[in-house]
Every structure is written in C-alpha cells, then in structure tokens.
C-alpha cells in the first residue's frame, strides 16, 4: 500500500496545474454539474451584446467554448501561468487579454460582465463599468463547498467560514452596489475522489481550499485519507454552486 500511495502522490505532484482544465481528473474524480448549464447560458448572452468582459478568465477555457464573441471582448487574469494560456487561446479570437486583478476600464463600457468561480466579486467596480441596462452574469462557489475535504485536513471550520460565500450575501452586495438581482439559484452537488492522487491534484490547483497546501506538510493526513479511500472508496464531498445575474438600471 505504501508504494501505491507514494506513486499516486508523486504522479499528482508532478503534473502541471496551470489553466482551469480539470481533464487530468477523468476517471479519478467526478463532480456533478449544476442543472442550469453556465456555459450554454453565457454563450447565449455573448451572442446578443456588442461589448463584454470576462473576469478571472483562468486559461480562457470557458470563454473559448463560446462560438460567438462580441466585437469588443476583453478578459482579465492575474495568475501568470494562466495569463499565458489565456493569451494563447483567446487572442487569436480577437479577445483583449489584460494581465490584472483590477479594473482598468472606463465607466459604462460593457453590456455584459461575466465570471465563473471568481475568488472575489468587486461589485462597485462591476457596476461602474457596466452600461445602463447591462448585466453581470456569474456562476460562483457557494458556502462550505467541498468542506468534507477541507475539514479532513484542517478540522472543523468556524460558522463564518462555512457561510462566507452564501448567495444571499452576494445578492445583498449586488443591491448595495446599485444592481438589481434578476436571477439567483443554488445547488449542492455530489463530488467523489477515487484515489489520493486526485486529492493532491485538486488541492494543488484549487489553492484556497487548504491554504498553503504542500504534500510534505500534509503527508500524514494524505496517507490517512489514502487508506480510507482504499477501504471505503470513494471519498464523497459536496460542491456548492450558485448562479447570479444582476442588471444595472
């Protein structure tokens, strides 16, 4: 068992975690998808506007999956490995990729601002760059997402941490920024990890789940979880997602 553990951990430690493509997990982990189909809805919206902005675009995978982009299309990304991937993927399609975590855009520029799984949502800035009648459309990580895994490594988390990404808070923040919430939905989705390599890869890629995660620091807990998966496979957690759409009057 020790050899299997070491091999799985070594393999997952060596693979690149650049971009926002999780295809390496095929056959090793599964996550149910929200019923609303974010990319399909984004594709419909992008086809109807003349200027749009995609925030925290990652490697540009979601945006590139939309066949029709507006004449003015911009995307932001601040993590260096993702910037290179996004630029290579999106610039040939006429997208302006801006290496920033900020909002270096004029007021009232965009008909649509979108973001999938943003780390933070800067509501006042979003409201500023939207044209009157424009919308912010986003799928976000909800409260206590995958906390079964988080708490396996970090122990019980305080209630404030469990509810820090609640959709009601997002709706209140949108309203405070002067936006009208026109759609708000949330779902809890089954997530399964079939080997410890999948866990290592996931925690290396989704860096805010267990902040500062390294294999060496958590080797004991990883081995414990490996033995649990070998015995009880799979390790089950629950991802939470919410969809929010807010319009500027």
Nearest residue to 99 (alpha-carbon basis) of 116, 120, 75, 118: 75
- The larger pLDDT score, comparing residue 19 to residue 214, is at 214
| Distance of alpha carbon 235 from alpha carbon 228, whole angstroms | 8
pLDDT at 19 > cutoff 80: no
Please report, rounded to a whole number, the percentage of residues in the chain having pLDDT higher than 90.
91
Mean pLDDT for 43-53 is 98
| Distance of alpha carbon 41 from alpha carbon 48, whole angstroms | 11
pTM over 0.75: yes
Where residue 2 falls among pLDDT bands split at 50, 70, 90? low
Mean pLDDT for 213-225 is 97
Number of domains in the chain: 1
In a domain, 68, yes or no: yes
Domain harbouring 173, CATH code = 3.40.50.150
In a domain, 18, yes or no: no
Three-state secondary-structure class, residue 56: coil
* 132-148 pLDDT per residue, tens: 999 999 999 999 999 99
Where residue 164 falls among pLDDT bands split at 50, 70, 90? confident
How far is the CA of 8 from the CAs of 24, 28, 72, in angstroms? 13, 11, 45
Mean pLDDT for 90-112 is 97
In a domain, 21, yes or no: no
In a domain, 141, yes or no: yes
Lookup: tokens for 112: 């649509």
How many whole angstroms from its chain centre is CA 9?
24
Nearest residue to 203 (alpha-carbon basis) of 125, 146, 134, 144: 146
In a domain, 9, yes or no: no
Lookup: tokens for 145: 């997402």
Please state, rounded to an integer, the average pLDDT across all residues of the chain. 95
Lookup: tokens for 189: 């989705």
Write down the pLDDT at residue 160: 87
Write down the pLDDT at residue 60: 96
In a domain, 40, yes or no: yes
| Distance of alpha carbon 86 from alpha carbon 206, whole angstroms | 18
pLDDT at 20 > cutoff 80: no
For residue 141, the enclosing domain spans 32-195+236-247
In a domain, 56, yes or no: yes
pLDDT at 1 > cutoff 60: no
The DSSP annotation for 88-155 comes to HHHGGGT-EEEE-SS----TT-EEEEEEES-S---HHHHHHHEEEEEEEEEEEE-TTTTHHHHHHHH-
Helices (H) and strands (E) in the chain, counts: 10, 8
Q: Which residues of 88-110 are buried (b: 16+ CB within 10 A; e: fewer)?
A: ebbeeeebebbeeeebebeeebb
Where residue 38 falls among pLDDT bands split at 50, 70, 90? very high
* 187-216 pLDDT per residue, tens: 999 999 999 999 999 999 998 899 999 999
In a domain, 146, yes or no: yes
């Amino acid at each position: 068992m020790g050899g299997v553990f070491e091999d799985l951990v070594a393999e997952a430690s060596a693979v690149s975690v650049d971009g926002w493509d999780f295809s390496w997990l095929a056959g090793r982990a599964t996550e149910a998808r929200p019923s609303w189909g974010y990319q399909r809805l984004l594709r419909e919206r992008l086809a109807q506007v003349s200027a749009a902005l995609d925030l925290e675009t990652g490697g540009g995978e979601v945006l590139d999956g939309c066949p029709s982009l507006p004449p003015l299309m911009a995307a932001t990304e601040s993590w260096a490995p993702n910037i290179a991937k996004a630029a290579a993927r999106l610039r040939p399609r006429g997208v302006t990729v801006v290496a920033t975590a900020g909002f270096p855009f004029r007021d009232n520029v965009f008909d649509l601002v979108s973001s999938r799984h943003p780390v933070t949502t800067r509501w006042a800035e979003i409201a500023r760059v939207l044209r009157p009648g424009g919308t912010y459309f986003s799928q976000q990580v909800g409260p206590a997402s995958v906390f079964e895994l988080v708490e396996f490594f970090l122990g019980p988390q305080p209630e404030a941490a469990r509810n820090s990404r609640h959709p009601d808070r997002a709706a209140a923040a949108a309203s405070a920024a002067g936006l009208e919430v026109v759609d708000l939905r949330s779902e809890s989705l089954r997530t399964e990890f079939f080997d410890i390599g999948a866990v290592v890869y996931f925690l290396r890629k989704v860096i805010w789940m267990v902040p500062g995660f390294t294999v060496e620091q958590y080797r004991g807990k990883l081995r414990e979880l490996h033995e649990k998966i070998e015995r009880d496979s799979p390790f089950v957690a629950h991802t939470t997602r919410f969809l929010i759409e807010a319009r500027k009057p």
